[in-house]
Amino acid sequence: MAEAKFKPVEEQLAYLKKGTAEIIPEAELKAKLENSLKTGKPLRAYLGVDPTAPDIHLGHTVVLRKLKHFQDLGHTAIFLIGDFSAMIGDPTGVSETRPPLTREQVDANAKTYLAQVFKLLDPQKTEVRYNSEWLDKLSSYDIVRICGHYSLARMLEREDFRTRLEQHQPISVHELLYPLLTAYDAVALKSDVEIGATEQKFNILVHRDIQRAYGLAGEVALTMPILVGLDGQRKMSKSLGNYIGITEPPQEMFGKLMSIPDELMWTYYDLVTDRTPNEIAVLKKEVAGGEAHPMDVKMRLAQEVIAGFHGSEAARKAAENFQRVFRDRQAPAEMLEIRLNRRPDGFLETLTHDGIQQIVSPSPKWPQLLKYLSQAESISEAARLIEQGGFEVNGNVVKDPMTKLDTSVNAFYEVRLGKKKFLRIIVE
């Protein structure tokens, strides 16, 4: 019965190792999988997330997808929301003490987070927990007892703390408590495996040690690499502007995914899809041998990623739109439409994106109109774009920024700005 429930250990291990940075120790994970197969009892794998922001981008889904892989294999996936720990603040990777969040902020973020998480995880098979369930109930004695299981010297070996000490930056005592209190999550959950990004390695190893201090076997630490952003160099981050939000429109996601360097797409196949290592190896071989074009393989990647968050139909339409716009050089079927009303005195009027009425002179030059319609930062920027050949009107390249619109009659213009921006302007 157990053998029918779980795949062979080597097959499970290969799937779980896909894209991982480290498994500490790998031999223990294999032993746990063997015992699971023998007893029919699933492993308890968890991912803990402090809901410090409401939105998730593709980089956040790397660890989430690995939790899904445990779920795919029939193991118990636990998504732990650090509603208590978020109010302390994780010191990982920061050069100064984080400001604490309020309970209201944490609760609002957690609600939004779950809606996005269930785009990947099966909500019926996911154990959702909140660490306030047990951390809120700890007595002063309990907290002192936890602290007694770890030395200050080992805590200060942590790179974040060591750097701040060397630079004479303050470290608050509650920051030292953070990895110890979150270690109690692992104790309360009786976890077999904890998943986290590489930057969480120190925390997870503390969790493993504290588990053992409480008489448990000690979880396996499984760390995942940080996803490189669209620039192909730096960590995917909202602040760097090189991210893909999982709630962004499918067409926007598709365009962003197609912009990554060709070599980076193999990392994305590894980290943000469910394809097996063998399947990815076959695709690599086909591209290397000239049997498949890199752009076609990247389009498959984009379609697979988008299907996971928006559904296969939305992914198909995004792919068709990309084909139409970027390969066949046609305007997309759907684009921003702006209507200009011609007044009796010949002047044009419209509403801007923030609802303020704009008055435009009769027969304006294109740079002037683009600025008025909030489609360019300035008239000079619009003029530069036009001079550089990045502007088309009804399929014809316009390079003279002095070109005017003919607004004496009803007119219909399909406009392309740069590579990705399209407008439909109607004069009535």
For the stretch 16-62, pLDDT in tens is 999 999 999 999 999 999 999 999 999 999 999 987 777 789 999 99
DSSP E strand boundaries for 305-390: 336-342, 348-351, 357-360
CA-to-CA distance for 11 and 31, rounded, in angstroms? 14
What pLDDT does residue 25 have?
Answer: 95
CA-to-CA distance for 152 and 230, rounded, in angstroms? 40
Residue (of 187, 197, 173) closest to 92 by Cα position: 197
Are residue 322 and residue 349 in the same domain, yes or no?
no
* For residue 413, pLDDT beyond 80: no
**Assigned domain for 307 exists:** yes
Are residue 345 and residue 311 in the same domain, yes or no?
no
Residue (of 377, 368, 375, 354) closest to 407 by Cα position: 368
Supply the CATH number for residue 78's domain: 3.40.50.620
Q: Domain boundary residue among 209, 224, 239?
A: 224
Supply the CATH number for residue 274's domain: 1.10.240.10
CA-to-CA distance for 253 and 246, rounded, in angstroms? 8
Are residue 220 and residue 257 in the same domain, yes or no?
no
Are residue 206 and residue 255 in the same domain, yes or no?
no
Report the DSSP pairing between strands 126-130 and 76-81.
Answer: parallel
pLDDT confidence of 353, banded at 50, 70, 90?
A: very low
Q: Which domain holds residue 50?
A: 2-224
What is the Cβ-side half-sphere exposure of residue 58, based on CA atoms within 13 angstroms?
29
Are residue 141 and residue 282 in the same domain, yes or no?
no
Are residue 267 and residue 195 in the same domain, yes or no?
no
Give the model confidence (pLDDT) of 126-149 as tens digits: 999 999 999 999 999 999 999 999
Are residue 27 and residue 131 in the same domain, yes or no?
yes
**Assigned domain for 57 exists:** yes
Q: Find residue 349's DSSP bridge partners.
A: 341, 359
Are residue 302 and residue 411 in the same domain, yes or no?
no
* For residue 276, pLDDT beyond 50: yes
3-class SS letters over 211-262: HHHCCCCCCEEEEECCCECCCCCCECCCCCCCCCECCCCHHHHHHHHHCCCC
Give the model confidence (pLDDT) of 313-344 as tens digits: 999 998 888 887 665 555 555 667 777 776 77
pLDDT confidence of 274, banded at 50, 70, 90?
A: very high
Q: Find residue 251's DSSP bridge partners.
A: none
Q: Are 192 and 44 in contact (CB under 8 A)?
A: yes
Are residue 304 and residue 360 in the same domain, yes or no?
no
**Assigned domain for 231 exists:** no
What six digits make up the tokens of 31? 């032993």
**Assigned domain for 230 exists:** no
- Look at residue 421 and give its three-state secondary structure: strand
Are residue 109 and residue 61 in the same domain, yes or no?
yes
**Assigned domain for 236 exists:** no
- Domain count along the chain: 3
**Assigned domain for 117 exists:** yes
Instruction: Please tell me what DSSP assigns to residue 41.
Output: P
Supply the CATH number for residue 382's domain: 3.10.290.10
- Tokens 């984080």: give the residue: 98
Residue 117 sits at φ, ψ, to 5 deg, of -60, -40
Are residue 256 and residue 108 in the same domain, yes or no?
no
